[in-house]
Structure 1
């Protein structure tokens, strides 16, 4: 059974796994593990490793790591710092899995529309990254007094309505010129549950299909299309209006969609404080990425 038949629209593999489990669907090839850390942080890992799992979930084979922290949505400083460190550790693990080089070149792509607040997470994250490629290329790594510095460059391709081009077309052009060892994409996601808005981070090695969570499918940004590994990082900032109503009236999403106005069926909802939330989360993501790319040893850092 296709995931779309029984599950509300979501970009989170964790929520797909939860829906599968609740529906008693065949879960062969879907592996799940969870660990609880300090500060209320929960790290979940969903691994999809069979064709049966691909059909059941509607997601490609790969690893999906989810970092959840309820206090993150409240801007708790201690929690934000802890999540930043966990994000950097997980990202570093993904990088080691896709790139065996000690010193590497990375391209970070901020997907989304800078002019639409819930979709501005990617562009704002790239704004705060520690970009090094131009300096390394011009002056060498010793310009940083550190021969271990990685080459990092950033790209904000915008959206098709602004450029007339698919994001994939722009990224492929940059990849062919820059020749990074891997690409990291940052994007805003759609969630199934309101409790995960603004307080959940997903990392995956499968790449991403921009706009898929809101039904605006574009070409996939992945290894097959780019020729280099793609690590995708995202945070849910919107939720389908039909899902909220179906939860409120305790009815299936399909029945609720039939009762609602067709105009409402295409509506997505975001928290009222999304401006401050996106600003805070973009800073958190950029800091976590900067830490992961710094080659500093922080895994044993004590709080």
Structure 2
């Protein structure tokens, strides 16, 4: 929902006289845990359950959206959202990457909960020509696909036990294909008839600290392009007729969010060094949401929905695509060990 500053030219009006309208739009985020954090600042959110545990530097947060009211409050569909928060993921720590892969594979197995004979379709969403949006295609390129092997080269899989029939495709984006992603995927689903679909996509975060440091899994499906305000038709059980598991990694953040966080850091320094400063006193009258909208409106003439990504995104995308693909390979094929996965995840 949209929220606007009540005084468009606020620079000409005393800050205390600026008021917010009754409609709201929160800082853009695809992460359910962030949406829950933001909503909780306005009071407890009924119909949402959240739990947290830690595994050697990996914080696993589970957010369960139970009711329609909670769905509207958070802006997230009903379902379970599992977030792996791993600050060390930005660094090339091979031991940590291996631990993340194992946790990811375990969580995927629980979400899938399908027999070994199932057929799975993996969809790599995004634009392979834009690095920060290329996660889906990169993961698909590293998967061990087997659907064709069962028909044309069965000897490669031995007796086939312990291996699922896996198909994978990167449908591209509307601007390149002229076809809605949902139309392409629906056509493939009707032909292949998988038991489940797994959609992999790059996401947007509210917090710069979670960019390139978080992996989210969900059984609620996915809406391609939502993270950058380019909403396309959802891929979910209602639209495809089969369960849809979404895997995403936040690779971008809104410019207004970065600017707002920077301003807040400056204000905190002023509060410490110059207690009672008039400038900070004025800003303290505003809520965190009001401050964000103030920054958003100031940047509006130049920002134009600008999103940014860290400069090391190229190296990071290679690493995280490998982690996600390896986790998928292990989770999708019960007979595959992590040593096997090292050989087939290329």
TM over 0.5, shorter chain:
yes
- Could you tell me which runs of 5 or more consecutive residues in structure 1 were left unpaired when the two chains were aligned: none
Equivalent in the alignment of 1:191:
205
- Could you tell me which runs of 5 or more consecutive residues in structure 2 were left unpaired when the two chains were aligned: 4-22, 265-287, 339-346
Does residue 244 (structure 1) correspond to residue 244 (structure 2)? The answer is: no
CA deviation vs aligned residue, 1:66-106 (integer Å, no higher than 9, x gap): 0011111112111100000000000010000xx3x232100
* Greater C-alpha radius of gyration: 2
Equivalent in the alignment of 2:45:
27
1:4-83 residue pairs with structure 2 within 5 A?
A: 5=24, 7-24=26-43, 26-38=44-56, 40-83=57-100
Aligned length: 293
**1:296 Cα shift?**
3.5
1:65-144 residue pairs with structure 2 within 5 A?
A: 65-96=82-113, 99=114, 101-140=115-154, 143-144=156-157
**1:125 Cα shift?**
0.5
- Contact in 1 for aligned 2:163/2:335 (Cα 8 Å): no
TM-score (norm 1): 0.93
- SS of structure 2 residue aligned to 1:5: coil
**1:22 Cα shift?**
2.5
TM-align CA RMSD: 1.8
Equivalent in the alignment of 1:282:
321
**1:259 Cα shift?**
1.2
- Contact in 2 for aligned 1:11/1:189 (Cα 8 Å): yes
CA deviation vs aligned residue, 1:228-285 (integer Å, no higher than 9, x gap): 1100000000000011111111262211112114231410010001111111111111
Q: Take 1:257 and 1:104, find their aligned partners in 2: how far apart are those partners?
A: 47
**1:178 Cα shift?**
0.6
- SS of structure 2 residue aligned to 1:60: coil
CA deviation vs aligned residue, 1:113-151 (integer Å, no higher than 9, x gap): 0000000010000000001000112244x5312422100
- Contact in 2 for aligned 1:2/1:57 (Cα 8 Å): no
Query: Among 245, 259, 270, which residue is 2:309 paired with?
Result: 270
Q: Take 2:336 and 2:166, find their aligned partners in 1: how far apart are those partners?
A: 18
